[in-house]
C-alpha cells in the first residue's frame, strides 16, 4: 500500500529536490535568497532552471508557466513548451535562468484600476524564489509576482511580500531592544480553514443561477435545513469521504499540508484546514487548494461551491485566517508562556496587534469586502461587520492589572472534570473559543474570522502585516529614543492598553446590544457593505501608513479601490441580469403552467357536474394570477434598475446605486418567486429545490 510519505510533495521542487539536484554552492546561494532576501545571481538561476527542467520533464511535464495572482481573485498562467528546434530537425528541451526569473505575459486584459492605459499591454512576471515551484497538469508552475511596465504591482503577491518585509524590519528593531541579536528574520505564519459546499453536477447544471453567479438567486426554504444541527461534525457520507480522500492525495502531492476535514453546520457544507505555513506560501497554497477542490469535485460528478452564501437560510462559508508571527529561530512571538504578566516581550507584541486592529479596523474590513461576503457578515453564522478583538478572561485581566497598576495574582489552572471516573481530567485552556468574534486570540495566534470562502487570503494578511508593522515602528521609535528602556517599555504597554482597550470585547458579537455599544459608545466602525467601506481605503491615515511602509504606492491604492468596487458592481449586475432572465423565461412559465392546470381542472369539474365545487382551483388560479403579475412587475423594475446602474461610469457612485436601489429590487423579485415555488407543483418547477441540492449528495 502506498504511504503518504512516499508521495507527499512529489510534484514540488522543494528543499529535498534542490539539495539533491543543485551543487552545494548554488544551493547555499539560493537558500540565502529564500531566507535572507539576498539578490539572486543569474548564474545561480541558470543552474536552478536546468535542474527544474530536468526534474519536471522526468515527471511528464512538457510546458512551463509563470503562475501568478492578478487582481481578478483567481490565478493566471500562460504555458510555453520546453521544446527548442535542433539543427537536425528535431527538438531539444531547454529552459534558461532568464526564462525562470522573468516572463512577459500580455497584461492588457487584467484589471489595473487605471495604473496603465488599455493599449499598454506589456507586463512582467518575476520569480518568487520563496515559494516552491510545482507541477500541475503536466506544466512546471513557477510562482511569480506580476507588475506593469512601470513597475506598479498588478497582483496580490507583491504587496503581500512587501508587507512581510515591513513587518520583518520593524519586528527585528523591537527584538534588538530586548537584547536579541541572533534572530535574522521574523515572519508571519498562516493556517486558513476553508469552508465549502458540495452539490451534484447534475443538479448544478439545472440551476442557471448557480452557473452564472455561484449562488442560488432563488430558492424557498426547505422543511429541513440546519435546525437540528445534526450535520456539524457528523458522520461523513461515502461520496463525500471518497472526494475528501482524493482531494487530500492531490493536495499532498503538491506539498499542501491538508490536515483536518469535517462536516460543517449547514447540510452539504464541509471544511478543510491545513497546517500553518509562511504567509506568502499559505496564500499560494490556498489558491491551489481552491482550484484542486473544484477540479477533484468535477471528476467525481460533483461541484464545489466556494461562494460565501450559496444558499439563503443556512450558514454561508468563510475562511478563518489563523495568523501568528515567529522568528527564524523557532520562537512564536505571540506565545504568552507560563506567566504572560511577566513576559514583557510577549505583552509588547500583543499590544502591537491590539493597537493595529484598533487603528486600522477599517482596513481589515476592507480586506474582506466582496459582494458575496456582504451576504454573510453580520448574520448568526459569521462575525459582524464591526471589528473587535477577543482576548479571553485571563489575558484581559492581565491587561487590566497593567493599566491600573494593581498586582495580578494569576488565574488558577482549573481542571475540567467530566464526572466519569474512567475519563481523564485535563487542564482548561486559558481562553475559550469565541466564534462570534472577528479577531480572536486562541492561545498563540489570532483567528481572523471575517474572510469569505472565495477570498484570497493575501488581502487580509497584507493589511494585518502592515498594521502590526506600523505599531511596531511606533514602539521602536519611542523605545530606541528612551533614556531608560525598562521604564519606557512599561509606559508604552500601559499607554497602549489605555488608549486601545475599546477594541477588546469578550462577549457575544451577535448581540444587537453589542453593535449599539460598539458604534455609539466605543466609536468603532460598522461598514455593513462593500460600497460602505471601500472608499475609506484612501483615507489619509491609511494612505500614509501603507505608502510609508512601502506596501503600496498611492496610485496602487487608488487602483485597488476602483478594481474592488468595479468587481462588486459587475458581480451584482450579473446576478441581477440572471434573475431577470430566469424569472422571465423559467419561473413565470412555471407559474403559468400551474395556473393553466388549475384552471383546466376547474373547468373540467364544472363540465362534469356543475354542482361540484371548484373553489380550491378557482382560489389557486386567482393566487397564481396575482403572483404572475407581481413577478412581471418586479422583473421589469429590476431590469430598469440594472440599466440605470450601468449608465453610471464612476465606481463609487455606481456601487452606491447598486447597494441602495438595485439590491432591494433583487430582494423583492426573489421574495415573490420564492413564494411561487411553495405553490407550484414540483413537476412544473424548472430547477432543483433547496431540498434537492442540500441533501442530494449521498
The pLDDT tens digits for 600-645 are 988 888 777 777 787 888 888 999 999 999 999 999 999 999 999 9
Under DSSP, the state recorded for 237 is P
Residues 599-611: b if buried by 16+ CB within 10 A, e if exposed:
bebbeebeeeeee
Pairing of strands 269-274, 258-263: antiparallel
Residue that has been written with the C-alpha cell 547555499 in this structure: 28
Task: Report phi then psi at 409, rounded to 5.
Answer: -90, -5
Under DSSP, the state recorded for 680 is S
The pLDDT tens digits for 348-380 are 999 999 999 999 999 999 999 999 999 998 665
Nine-digit cell string for 482: 528612551
Q: With 0-12 CB in 10 A as exposed, 13-18 as middle and 19+ as buried, what is 444? A: middle
The pLDDT tens digits for 57-105 are 999 999 999 999 999 888 999 898 997 776 766 656 778 888 888 887 6
H or E segment and range at residue 208 = helix 208-213
Identify whether the C-beta of residue 298 lies closer than 8 Å to the C-beta of residue 419: no
Q: Cβ neighbours of residue 2 under 8 Å, at least 6 residues apart? A: none
- What per-residue confidence (pLDDT) applies to 114? 74
- What per-residue confidence (pLDDT) applies to 418? 45
User: From CA 374, how far away is CA 368, in angstroms rounded?
Assistant: 9
Identify whether the C-beta of residue 69 lies closer than 8 Å to the C-beta of residue 280: no
All residue ranges of the chain with pLDDT < 70 are 86, 88-92, 105-108, 116-122, 341-342, 378-381, 409-434
User: From CA 96, how far away is CA 42, in angstroms rounded?
Assistant: 10
Identify whether the C-beta of residue 153 lies closer than 8 Å to the C-beta of residue 124: no
Alpha helices for 438-587 (secondary structure H): 457-480, 485-500, 512-516, 530-533, 540-548, 554-582
- What per-residue confidence (pLDDT) applies to 337? 78
Identify whether the C-beta of residue 469 lies closer than 8 Å to the C-beta of residue 186: no
∠ CA 371-376-381, rounded to 5°: 170
Identify whether the C-beta of residue 76 lies closer than 8 Å to the C-beta of residue 69: yes
Please measure the distance between the N-terminal and C-terminal CA atoms of the chain and give it in whole angstroms: 27
Identify whether the C-beta of residue 23 lies closer than 8 Å to the C-beta of residue 143: no
User: Distances in Å between the alpha carbon of 533 and those of 203, 269, 529?
Assistant: 36, 29, 7
Identify whether the C-beta of residue 627 lies closer than 8 Å to the C-beta of residue 591: yes
Domains within the chain, CATH numbers bracketed: 4-154 (3.10.20.70), 163-198+251-549 (3.30.590.10), 567-694 (1.20.120.1560)
Angle between helix 485-500 and 457-480 (nearest 10): 140
H or E segment and range at residue 261 = strand 258-263
Residue that has been written with the C-alpha cell 460598522 in this structure: 526
User: From CA 548, how far away is CA 171, in angstroms rounded?
Assistant: 16
Which pTM does this prediction carry? Answer: 0.94
Q: Cβ neighbours of residue 504 under 8 Å, at least 6 residues apart? A: 354, 388, 389, 390, 391, 396, 399
- What per-residue confidence (pLDDT) applies to 416? 44
Q: Cβ neighbours of residue 243 under 8 Å, at least 6 residues apart? A: 198, 296, 297, 300, 302
In residues, how long is the chain?
Answer: 698
Q: With 0-12 CB in 10 A as exposed, 13-18 as middle and 19+ as buried, what is 114? A: exposed
User: From CA 473, how far away is CA 133, in angstroms rounded?
Assistant: 34
Under DSSP, the state recorded for 185 is -
The DSSP code sequence of 24-38 is HHHHHHHHHHHHH-P
User: From CA 240, how far away is CA 263, in angstroms rounded?
Assistant: 9
At 335 the three-state DSSP class reads coil
Pairing of strands 186-200, 269-274: antiparallel
∠ CA 59-64-66, rounded to 5°: 135
Number of H helices, E strands in the chain: 25, 20
User: From CA 593, how far away is CA 407, in angstroms rounded?
Assistant: 77
User: From CA 643, how far away is CA 662, in angstroms rounded?
Assistant: 10
Amino acid at each position: 500500500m502506498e504511504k503518504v510519505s512516499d508521495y507527499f510533495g512529489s510534484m514540488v521542487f522543494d528543499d529535498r529536490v534542490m539539495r539533491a539536484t543543485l551543487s552545494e554552492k548554488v544551493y547555499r546561494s539560493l537558500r540565502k535568497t529564500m531566507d535572507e532576501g539576498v539578490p539572486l545571481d543569474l548564474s545561480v538561476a541558470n543552474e536552478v532552471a536546468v535542474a527544474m527542467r530536468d526534474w519536471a520533464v522526468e515527471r511528464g511535464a512538457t510546458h512551463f508557466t509563470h503562475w501568478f495572482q492578478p487582481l481578478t481573485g483567481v490565478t493566471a498562467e500562460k504555458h510555453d513548451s520546453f521544446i527548442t528546434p535542433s539543427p537536425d530537425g528535431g527538438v531539444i528541451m531547454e529552459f534558461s535562468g532568464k526564462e525562470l526569473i522573468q516572463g512577459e505575459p500580455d497584461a492588457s486584459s487584467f484589471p489595473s484600476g487605471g495604473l496603465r492605459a488599455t493599449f499598454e499591454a506589456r507586463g512582467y512576471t518575476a520569480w518568487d524564489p520563496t515559494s516552491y515551484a510545482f507541477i500541475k497538469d503536466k506544466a512546471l508552475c513557477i510562482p511569480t509576482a506580476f507588475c506593469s511596465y512601470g513597475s506598479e504591482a498588478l497582483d496580490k503577491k507583491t504587496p503581500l511580500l512587501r508587507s512581510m518585509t515591513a513587518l520583518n524590519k520593524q519586528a527585528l528593531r523591537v527584538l534588538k531592544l530586548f537584547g536579541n541579536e541572533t534572530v535574522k528574520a521574523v515572519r508571519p505564519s498562516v493556517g486558513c480553514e476553508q469552508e465549502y459546499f458540495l452539490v451534484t453536477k447534475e443538479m448544478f447544471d439545472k440551476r442557471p443561477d448557480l452557473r452564472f453567479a455561484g449562488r442560488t438567486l432563488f430558492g424557498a426554504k426547505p422543511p429541513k435545513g440546519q435546525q437540528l444541527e445534526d450535520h456539524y461534525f457528523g458522520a461523513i457520507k461515502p461520496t463525500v469521504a471518497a472526494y475528501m480522500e482524493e482531494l487530500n492525495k492531490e493536495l499532498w502531492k503538491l506539498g499542501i499540508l491538508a490536515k483536518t476535514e469535517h462536516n460543517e453546520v449547514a447540510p452539504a457544507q464541509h471544511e478543510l484546514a491545513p497546517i500553518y505555513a509562511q504567509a506568502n506560501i499559505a496564500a499560494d497554497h490556498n489558491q491551489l487548494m481552491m482550484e484542486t477542490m473544484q477540479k477533484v469535485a468535477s471528476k467525481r460528478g460533483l461541484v464545489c461551491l466556494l461562494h460565501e452564501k450559496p444558499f439563503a437560510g443556512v450558514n454561508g462559508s468563510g475562511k478563518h485566517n489563523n495568523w501568528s508571527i515567529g522568528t527564524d529561530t523557532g520562537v512564536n512571538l505571540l506565545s504568552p508562556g507560563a506567566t504572560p504578566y511577566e513576559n514583557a516581550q510577549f505583552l509588547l507584541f500583543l499590544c502591537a496587534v491590539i493597537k493595529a486592529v484598533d487603528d486600522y479596523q477599517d482596513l481589515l474590513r476592507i480586506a474582506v469586502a466582496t459582494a458575496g461576503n456582504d451576504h454573510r457578515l453580520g448574520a448568526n453564522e459569521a462575525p459582524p461587520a464591526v471589528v473587535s478583538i477577543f482576548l479571553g478572561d485571563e489575558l484581559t485581566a492581565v491587561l487590566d492589572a497593567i493599566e491600573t497598576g494593581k498586582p495580578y495574582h494569576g488565574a488558577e489552572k482549573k481542571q475540567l472534570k467530566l464526572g466519569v471516573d474512567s475519563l481523564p481530567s485535563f487542564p482548561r485552556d486559558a481562553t475559550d473559543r469565541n466564534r462570534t468574534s472577528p479577531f480572536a486570540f486562541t492561545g498563540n495566534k489570532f483567528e481572523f474570522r471575517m474572510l469569505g470562502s472565495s477570498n484570497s487570503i493575501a488581502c487580509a494578511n497584507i493589511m494585518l502585516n502592515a498594521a502590526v508593522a506600523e505599531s511596531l515602528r511606533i514602539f521602536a521609535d519611542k523605545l530606541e529614543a528612551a533614556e531608560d528602556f525598562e521604564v519606557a517599555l512599561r509606559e508604552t504597554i500601559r499607554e497602549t492598553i489605555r488608549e486601545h482597550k475599546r477594541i477588546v470585547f469578550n462577549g457575544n458579537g451577535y448581540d444587537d446590544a453589542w453593535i449599539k455599544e460598539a458604534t455609539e459608545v466605543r466609536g468603532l466602525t460598522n461598514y455593513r457593505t462593500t460600497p460602505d467601506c471601500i472608499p475609506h481605503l484612501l483615507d489619509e491615515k491609511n494612505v500614509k501608513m501603507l505608502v510609508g511602509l512601502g506596501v503600496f504606492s498611492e496610485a496602487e491604492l487608488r487602483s485597488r479601490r476602483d478594481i474592488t468596487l468595479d468587481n462588486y458592481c459587475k458581480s451584482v449586475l450579473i446576478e441581477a441580469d440572471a434573475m431577470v432572465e430566469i424569472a422571465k423565461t423559467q419561473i413565470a412559465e412555471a407559474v403559468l403552467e400551474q395556473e393553466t392546470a388549475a384552471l383546466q381542472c376547474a373547468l373540467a369539474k364544472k363540465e362534469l357536474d356543475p354542482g361540484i365545487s371548484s373553489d380550491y382551483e378557482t382560489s389557486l388560479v386567482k393566487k397564481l394570477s396575482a403572483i404572475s403579475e407581481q413577478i412581471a412587475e418586479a422583473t421589469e423594475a429590476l431590469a430598469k434598475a440594472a440599466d440605470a446602474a450601468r449608465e453610471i461610469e464612476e465606481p463609487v457612485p455606481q456601487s452606491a446605486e447598486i447597494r441602495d436601489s438595485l439590491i432591494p429590487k433583487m430582494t423583492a423579485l426573489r421574495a415573490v418567486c420564492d413564494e411561487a415555488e411553495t405553490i407550484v407543483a414540483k413537476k412544473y418547477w424548472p430547477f432543483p429545490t433547496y431540498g434537492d441540492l442540500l441533501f442530494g449528495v449521498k
